[in-house]
Chain A
Amino acid sequence: MDIPYTVDARPDTGMYNAKLGIWLFLASEVMLFGALFSSYILLRVAAPEWPRGASILSVPLATLNTMLLISSSVTMVMSWASLKMKKFGAYRVYLGLTLLFGLGFLIVKSFEYGAKFSHHLYPGDSTFMAIYFTLTGLHVLHVLGGMIVNAYLWGPGAKMWKTAPEQFTNRVEVAGLYWHFVDLVWIFLFPVLYLL
């Protein structure tokens, strides 16, 4: 007996297994970041004073990063849509762009971190810096994880298009759902850390 609904959707739930799995995983990720954002709120209300993010961090760089991640989400959807339309070449281009945008995000982020360290600003300096490095650090790890998966699907994993195109399309969809979540976390991080 083979495991059912690995590729096709189960009629009564309307989903294939991996899609339900990734949604559940994202639910747990919401709880992880939810707990961290709650910690941020509790620490901030309890603090006698709290710096404005813009006075320490670079808003222009963060705005650039926001644009990069939003663009990468768009190209991610386009890559999946290309597969749905059986355009493998377009898929490669769009997913490649997604990877480049992600890489751009990481480069900008490393400049930001570098600037903080060169001004001798470390996590141990204040609760604000502690929160900043912890939240963005965890987010960067999530970006990296997503990029590794995307790079695999762009490179060696793409061989599956020839043998099992439907399953491959599903994989890209699932990777995309995760990538959008990573984008969404940044959409919360940007105002919380840089603007408020």
Chain B
Amino acid sequence: MSHSADAVSHADAHAHHEESFWRKYVFSIDHKVIGIQYAITSLLFLFFGFCLMMLMRWQLAFPYEPIPLIGSLLSESMAPGGIMSPEFYNSLGAMHGTIMVFLGVVPLAVGAFGNFVVPLQIGAPDMAFPKLNMSSYWVYAAGGVVMLASFFAPGGAANSGWTSYPPLSDIATTGQTMWLLGMVLLITSSLLGSVNFIVTIIQLRAPGMTWMRLPFFVWAQLVTAFLLLLAFPPLEAAGVLQLMDRLAGTSFFLPTGLVVSGEALSVSGGGSPLLWQHLFWFLAHPEVYVLILPAMGIVAEIIANNTRRPLFGYRSLVFSTIFLGFMSFIVWAHHMFLTGMGTSISTFFQTTTMIISVPSVVILSALFLSLWGGSIRFTTPMLFALGFLPMFGIGGLTGLPLGLSATDIPLHDTYYVIGHFHYVVAPGTILALFAGIYYWFPKATGRKMNDRLGKLHFWGTITFMNVIFMPMFIQGLAGVSRRLYDGGAQYAHAAPVLEWNVVMSIGAWALAIAQIPFFINFFRSMFKGEKVKDGNTWEATTLEWSAAPSPPIAHGNFETVPSVYRGPYEYSAPGFPQGYAPQNAPEKA
């Protein structure tokens, strides 16, 4: 189509869809706008959750010393005399976990990337239910507001850990009730979202887009959506039960004869604190795969694109992901080896845990092997994707001793656990999410992000993340518990590893500085970045690049319905003049 004709058809489209500002940018039903709304909101929450942690790291490194600058801004109950109160420390810990997982990483990985990329990659004009899509964003935003507002509740925000174990959480301050209400909203949002994703992927695939031609990212999102759909409701049930305990005086999680502050609690009793743990981890283990699968999907796309060769073992990647999805529902109690479940149940769950590590290793190995023999382009997204591989490897392998009940006993609830799952989520998933931002930024805006700033961002981020998380293994192996207000200063066994607290805290603050190039790059590139000439910046084969302009057409994405002729990663295709075969290119160009 010639340029002038293009312009005319665009003008036509605009004349037909004259949309108000609110309809276009705020209450939009276009999956691309909703994806960007999710991206910006969740990035803000990631930053906020990170700020909470930077505050905590002051107390851990320099316990009982007034917090400089910020200390005087905090209220009297949070930090009397600028010194962080233990209650506020607990709130920060609980809310850091909650915000990072439920308001930061998952909405970015699923809500933002899933929403923006999946319909484009399968050749669909939008999600299957656009209005549902909009409401899932707004319910998520409402959940976020409730969580933020809880900081101003009497007694502060929730302070019983992100796991909210009863009986402690049952008798905690009002912030816990708000946490539960916030979670109910977030669960509702993810329920609406996951139904939408599954229907979109099953029903709206373009002609020729068979199951084995789906980009791996779409497979990862499909399995993730099933996990969200089926694993979240039990936590919603648990949330309802805990709300009943707190508001209607029931004792679902309160055992008989519970004594609080020297007085017997006047409740009927007969409940079980373990019941909460089972319901919570029934969600929260699959949640780990919700955090990691979309990241693996992003990395797979970027690796195939930048090695200019097909992914190694596409089918084994797909089947491993499906198997991982199934297995993730029967490993949850490996978080509970110390609760006295009994050895036979522990044996069952440690066996399933060892089995689930097999598909994870298959996926990681296939991604590593995809590098072999490729002519690698070291673009910014590729650097982040390459950084993901060893970092996720460390995170995964350090998890094995936690999955075996005998070795878990000394490591349970120590900093070793914190080190393990942060390696999975922070240098793992978050690096992959950054990779995704650099990779799809030109698709969303029509402009590329700056490479030099991107590389600066990469090296700073990966360096300081390791400075923060590697010493956690050292402290954890020395037996330092994860929930100490003073970072272990009062324990003799922590003394030899205590100086690492200062190192980790400086690492955390340096990590914040390392994000400055990203902030500058993100906003500057939006307006001043190098313009994308034709739509396909990265010479990619998948539909979002090869069939749609950058940015894609509002409400509809494609000029015409694309037809798909081949698999997603035919990068070394003889007979095609550019050397690669887009999915929508007919037999010979």
Contact = CB atoms under 8 A, between A and B. Distances in A.
| Chains A and B come from one and the same complex | yes
A42 B191 CA distance: 26
B270 A43 contact: yes
B128 A124 contact: no
A20 B203 contact: yes
B234 A32 contact: yes
A64 B129 CA distance: 39
B558 A1 contact: yes
Interface in B560-583: 560-561
Contact of B233 (A32, A126, A134): A32
Interface residues of B, number: 46
B240 A134 contact: yes
B26 interface: no
Interface in B210-248: 229-234, 236-238, 240-241, 244, 248
B332 interface: no
B399 to A, nearest CB: 26
11 contacts: A1-B557, A3-B124, A17-B128, A17-B204, A20-B199, A24-B195, A25-B195, A28-B195, A33-B237, A134-B244, A138-B240
Contacts of A124: 248-251, 267-268
Contact of A35 (B129, B233, B267, B558): B233
- A-B pairs, top 9 by smallest CB distance, nearest first, are A124-B249, A35-B234, A130-B250, A1-B125, A32-B233, A35-B237, A31-B233, A1-B556, A127-B270
A28 B199 contact: no
A122 B199 CA distance: 42
Contact of B251 (A42, A130, A138): A130
Contacts of B272: 42-43, 46
B271 interface: yes
Contacts, number: 128
Interface in A32-49: 32-36, 39, 42-43, 46-47
Contacts of A134: 240-241, 244, 250, 252
A189 B202 CA distance: 34
B233 A29 contact: yes
Secondary structure at the B interface, as helix, strand, loop or mixed, is helix
A17 B199 contact: yes
B251 A127 contact: yes
A123 B250 contact: yes
B252 A43 contact: yes
B282 A10 contact: no
Interface of A: 1-5, 10, 13, 15, 17-18, 20-21, 24-25, 27-29, 31-36, 39, 42-43, 46-47, 122-127, 130, 133-134, 138
Nearest to B558: A1
B486 interface: no
Nearest to A37: B237
B250 A35 contact: no
B198 interface: yes
B234 A31 contact: yes
B544 interface: no
A80 B249 CA distance: 43
B279 A35 contact: yes
A21 B249 contact: no
Contact of A39 (B232, B270, B279): B279
A133 to B, nearest CB: 7
B275 interface: yes
Contacts of B129: 17-18, 21
B249 A127 contact: no
A3 B237 contact: no
A125 B248 CA distance: 10
A32 B237 contact: yes
Given A28-B233, A35-B238, A13 B203 contact: yes
A39 B267 contact: no
A150 to B, nearest CB: 20
B130 interface: yes
B547 to A, nearest CB: 12
A39 B237 contact: yes
Contacts of B282: 35
Contacts of A138: 240
B126 interface: yes
A20 B240 contact: no
Given A4-B203, A35-B238, A134-B240, 9 more contacts: A20-B202, A21-B129, A21-B195, A28-B194, A32-B236, A35-B237, A39-B252, A127-B271, A138-B240
Could you say which of A33, A43, A125 has the most chain B C-beta atoms within 10 Å of its C-beta? Answer: A43
B199 A24 contact: yes
